[in-house]
Structure 1
């Protein structure tokens, strides 16, 4: 069937209209989606300069999603060889030199084209806090040496600083809630939605020299010195946070040993927290170098101590409790220990760092009830040293301290922070969440790079979304009407 001239014109008009409509539709979609081109990747480096060791973390995120939640991932973690930087007080240059190997690993992970734009930070915690108390000049020399070494790297070094205990706790809280995507939700209309406050989790951190507790309490925080307030994604968060200096794992062990030395009539120390059959020699000098140990060495004691294990968990708990001042909180429902104000714990908690490492070694990170945890630790403490060595070979000097660490953590969590058999199930002992190590470093970087904005961004809202939908509907209906008219003209029988 041959088309008439009129029909040829109508067909051409139809084709032009269809092409125009499709082009318009494509333009609307392109305008609405801003053309999703492949995004670049950005990187950030953070050194965690703790009391016992330093770790380096490399984080990466899509360049076009800096202010979205849950987009940052951990690209590398590197443990620096040797002790923490505070241990190099007498040789500051070595503190900076010790960081080079991990820094080279980080530079190998980050593409060279990104080096100059990569921010790098170093945050020092309780070990350097103690050194600053003991000798501020030496602490300053260590920071200067570290900064000098890191400035030589081809990245954007932002500086090395001493974190306060409150900042350490708050940044750890931000990290865990960010990784779990609990700080904010994103709506289809381009708005941020604040999740229920009861969903936010608390953070329990345990380093070598200090320990932190941070959570959102039910009621007001009465002691404002324990309150941290920040604005994230346009929403204000108010948390209780407190850091206990000298209550970290390593300093607790030092204080415990010093306490036993003070009460011993001679240089033979019978340690209730060491396993029966254990015998070893310890140097007396480093014990009293720590500002956490208030006593001085007993006169006439030799430089080296002989220590024997008793394997007595009851006596161990009694000695550990003497490290706390619980009597200062008697009769108070808003007090932890040492007279420190604390609202009652509530909600879920993530316990990490030495909380995790100790209970992971004891196989107690699977949600066991408090009674089981307590019984397991006591049973471990009563094992003879030869059996412990044979069962866990390769643990080194740490092996003798797991009994004391386990009983210390139980004392801190139950008698100190106030967890009970009813609330114990709210504790999760974790090293990672979402493939990211839990700690203060990610929250620290997010804060310093302003990657969690304080206010909502200026983006298209529901009104523009409605216009977008209406435009598409209009184009589709127009195209349909033209197609229908054309079909009628072409297929309708001629007179």
Structure 2
């Protein structure tokens, strides 16, 4: 009986399947077809709903990285935020290639209150934090480079202010910070970072060193030269005494090592380079102030004259003094780096561009201009023959405070290029104020170079 019942139940189930198979097919086939169609149709995801989908469908934040650079100058503090892709190309932040915010006064204005000095950066730090996505902040380097303002403070005041800034960044804990990333930049560092900036914007980094350009930057108190040299010339670099800056820095940029010759010539800037009444335009009587000192700046009765002014410039540069103990020197007994392909193409910045534009031999509305050192001499010949009253109408772009010194400035610049750095008078050089990059004009300034260096060390 058991055998009969089992057989009956089995046949009953089978009979049921057979009996309803038509209905099963009618239901299952459309379901399968609809499912297949839904799978094959392209999905339509609203543009504003990307964050609600799994992370693999969202842009990968690792394809970009940020760097925050504080430029703590004498007149104020500035923050630069840059964004790079994996190839270290700049990515716009909003509509600009960088976030730039500034405030006054500078850190040096808080000499008696280091905590207040550090706190003065807080507003800028908050702006930088708002520009960097939260998920990337912990891996975003922040650097603070103080310049002329802190250099001039006495005693341990600069160190106490820098320590307060380090404490601020550490306690805030937003960005990645190291103690040696908060420092007073010397002229060599500024020169090196500007070399990096210009070559980066030109697309030269990552190439062999002969494809890079050299940089000369003339400021008020100093002049810097920087260019890449060969391994052989780097090995020949003179040893320096303890406490002195080395001539060659090794830099690793976009996957390549560069031997960068860089030297900052302190007290050889445009504002302190030459003293000599024979360089002052006729008709001016006054005093010249620099570094807390006053100097007589009255013109002689015969007015300014090119040749005596050239002699004064050579004397200021110590061209003829036997102070050079190396085979090749620039001026003031300084090794010249050995020359080579890295300095064949020179970009010359700051006051060189400004005076050339004011003297009228380059277009002030252009970002770059091709000139020869001889152009400075030609302009000086004209300026040195003029009286101050006539120069006012001839040179409307020159600031009235600078006009009496136009002969001096142009003569010094020519002498610096020819006798100081040994350029040929007819060699083509590029005066630069800004560099075009991705259809935008970018300032040829050191913070971008600092950002590129710190980002290169991460790749």
User: Which runs of 5 or more structure 2 residues have no equivalent in the other structure?
Assistant: 1-28, 44-55, 239-245, 363-368
User: Does residue 68 of the first structure (1) align with residue 88 of the second (2)?
Assistant: yes
Shift of 1:114: 5.0
Shift of 1:239: 1.9
SS at match of 1:174: helix
1:487 counterpart residue number: none
Q: Is the 8 A contact 2:77 2:103 kept in 1?
A: yes
Q: Is the 8 A contact 1:179 1:433 kept in 2?
A: yes
Superposition TM-score, scaled by structure 2 size: 0.67
1:140 counterpart residue number: 159
Instruction: Identify the match of residue 403 of structure 1 among 404, 407, 410.
Output: 407
Aligned length: 382
| Mapped partners of 2:132, 2:253: distance in 1 | 31
Rate the CA distance shift 1:275–1:80 in 2: closer, same or farther, 3 A.
farther
| Mapped partners of 2:382, 2:299: distance in 1 | 19
User: Which runs of 5 or more structure 1 residues have no equivalent in the other structure?
Assistant: 1-8, 24-33, 185-194, 261-270, 288-302, 456-495
| Mapped partners of 1:397, 1:114: distance in 2 | 47
User: Does residue 322 of the first structure (1) align with residue 295 of the second (2)?
Assistant: no
Superposition TM-score, scaled by structure 1 size: 0.62
Deviations 1:427-454 (A, max 9, x none): 343333422211221121233xx31246
Deviations 1:204-226 (A, max 9, x none): 22233222211123552211531
1:213 counterpart residue number: 225
Q: Is the 8 A contact 1:47 1:54 kept in 2?
A: no
Rate the CA distance shift 1:306–1:414 in 2: closer, same or farther, 3 A.
closer
2:392 counterpart residue number: 389
Shift of 1:79: 6.4
| Mapped partners of 1:384, 1:98: distance in 2 | 49
User: Does residue 280 of the first structure (1) align with residue 286 of the second (2)?
Assistant: yes
SS at match of 2:344: coil
Within 5 Å, which residues of 2 pair with 1:75-224? 75-77=98-100, 88=109, 91-93=111-113, 111=130, 120-125=142-147, 128-129=150-151, 131=152, 135-141=154-160, 143=162, 156=175, 158=177, 160-184=182-206, 195-217=207-229, 219-221=232-234, 222-223=236-237
SS at match of 2:299: strand
Rate the CA distance shift 1:142–1:349 in 2: closer, same or farther, 3 A.
same
User: Does residue 377 of the first structure (1) align with residue 380 of the second (2)?
Assistant: yes
Rate the CA distance shift 1:138–1:105 in 2: closer, same or farther, 3 A.
closer
User: Does residue 360 of the first structure (1) align with residue 357 of the second (2)?
Assistant: yes
Rate the CA distance shift 1:315–1:432 in 2: closer, same or farther, 3 A.
same
Q: Is the 8 A contact 2:191 2:226 kept in 1?
A: yes
Shift of 1:121: 3.2
Shift of 1:81: 5.3
1:4 counterpart residue number: none
Shift of 1:166: 3.0
SS at match of 1:46: strand
| Mapped partners of 1:402, 1:155: distance in 2 | 49
| Mapped partners of 2:131, 2:370: distance in 1 | 44
2:254 counterpart residue number: 233
Deviations 1:287-309 (A, max 9, x none): 2xxxxxxxxxxxxxxx8857336
SS at match of 2:69: strand
| Mapped partners of 1:210, 1:95: distance in 2 | 31
1:442 counterpart residue number: 448
Shift of 1:426: 3.8
After superposition, the CA RMSD in angstroms is 4.5
Shift of 1:401: 3.5
| Mapped partners of 1:208, 1:99: distance in 2 | 29
Q: Is the 8 A contact 1:281 1:307 kept in 2?
A: yes
Which structure has the larger Rg over C-alpha atoms? 2
| Mapped partners of 1:169, 1:67: distance in 2 | 24
1:337 counterpart residue number: 331
